[in-house]
Structure 1
Amino acid sequence: MSLTKLHSEAGMEWSTVVAYGVGYGLALSVAFTVALFAGAAASRDFLLNDYPEPIQERYGRPKSARGRRVAVAFAVVVWGVCGVPLVTAAMVGLDGALEDGLGFWSAAVCAGLVMLTLSLWDLFVVDWAVLAGLRPRLLTLPGTEGMEEYRDLRFHAVAALKGAPLVVVVALVAGGLAALLA
């Protein structure tokens, strides 16, 4: 086999990994967004701790019992009902799509891309465009309407960076599981 053909096939393999990672990441992002709005409709304070401190202070009360229940349900839906099954589906599909099957690196990169896509979607679409830009009433805590802290793009970027290690952890765990099961 020529070096050019080998390079071309390796490039095609990685483009498949990227396509699966980003595609399933977008599917998880849409599910996340739907769950977010459903959660807010059930209890507007369910993500109270994710708002900037001045907004939490003006809101002036702790997360309600209903908000705590909705936060748990949100986590179960996003990660248990959507996240794990979607990452698993991505791995199964990718295993069949790759000539040599699923290995550590292909699984790790794909799972990392699923999480990275979700993180970027959350930052750019949910936090910056929707929450900071559109500021829908449903995602605005009562009594905090009009606060400039909703438009604090730096706050959202820092929060996204704090979640970045999760991308690496999920990637390494998925890669490790793929290597063990292969």
Structure 2
Amino acid sequence: MMLQALGYGLIWSVMWSVYVFLILKFYPFSMLHDYPKDIQAAATIEKPTKAQEKAAKRFGAVGGLIIFGVLLAFGLLRFHSEQASFLQVLKYIFIIAMTWNVIDLLIMDWLIVCTITPKWIVLRGTEGCKGYKDYFFHFKGFLVGCVYTALMALLFSGIDYAVLRFLIWK
């Protein structure tokens, strides 16, 4: 069960990574709040038009529905043919979600943003900002992500468990 959850966690991490990359490429203004303060202050991103804001919200909503729909599907696929306790479902979903949180820290933040810092990460006007090398900033984000991951796993496990118990296992 744990290896399968880790495998699904890797798949979910790739989905999240692609989603974040696309947001950075097409709607960087919507991610500015996730950067360190010096980068936020130095960024010369043009104010988005109403159409750009609407497109970013639509992309965010559709992407979020897909990503979180897949998380729900992972739990339903795993447990549809065998009854499990809520705790088992929670553990499974938590492993998947926490895999993303760890990969986000180690690969996306520390390796790509802090160590490599490719041009596609650097916002216009922020070249040379120290925030790009702020490993502790990203670690604090990881800790906050642990809380959100736990809450999200609780919510999505509850939904999965309710669907399984009342609609599938009957």
> Normalising TM by the smaller chain, what interval?
0.7 to 0.9
Alpha-carbon displacement from aligned partner over 1:94-134 (angstroms, at most 9, x marks no partner): 1146xx42320111011111210111111111111111111
The structure with the larger Rg is 1
Measured in 2, the distance between the counterparts of 1:126 and 1:74 equals 21
Alpha-carbon displacement from aligned partner over 1:53-85 (angstroms, at most 9, x marks no partner): 01111125686346644553453244211222x
Unaligned runs of 5+ in 2: 166-170
Measured in 2, the distance between the counterparts of 1:135 and 1:62 equals 22
Measured in 1, the distance between the counterparts of 2:67 and 2:73 equals 10
- The answer to whether structure 1 residue 125 and structure 2 residue 107 are counterparts is yes
Unaligned runs of 5+ in 1: 1-15
Greater shift, 32-41 or 150-159, is seen at 32-41
Measured in 1, the distance between the counterparts of 2:160 and 2:12 equals 20
In structure 2, do the counterparts of structure 1 residues 68 and 163 end up closer, same or farther at CA, with 3 Å as the change threshold?
farther
Paired letter, 1:26: L
In the comparison of the two structures, how many residue pairs are matched? 163
Normalization by structure 1: what TM-score?
0.78
* Partner in structure 1 of residue 89 of structure 2: 107
Provide the alpha-carbon RMSD of the alignment: 2.3
Give yes or no for contact 2:44–2:125 (8 Å, CA) kept in 1.
no
Paired letter, 1:133: T
In structure 2, do the counterparts of structure 1 residues 176 and 24 end up closer, same or farther at CA, with 3 Å as the change threshold?
same
* Partner in structure 2 of residue 47 of structure 1: 31
* Partner in structure 2 of residue 24 of structure 1: 8
Paired letter, 1:93: L
- The answer to whether structure 1 residue 161 and structure 2 residue 143 are counterparts is yes
Identity %: 25
Normalization by structure 2: what TM-score?
0.83
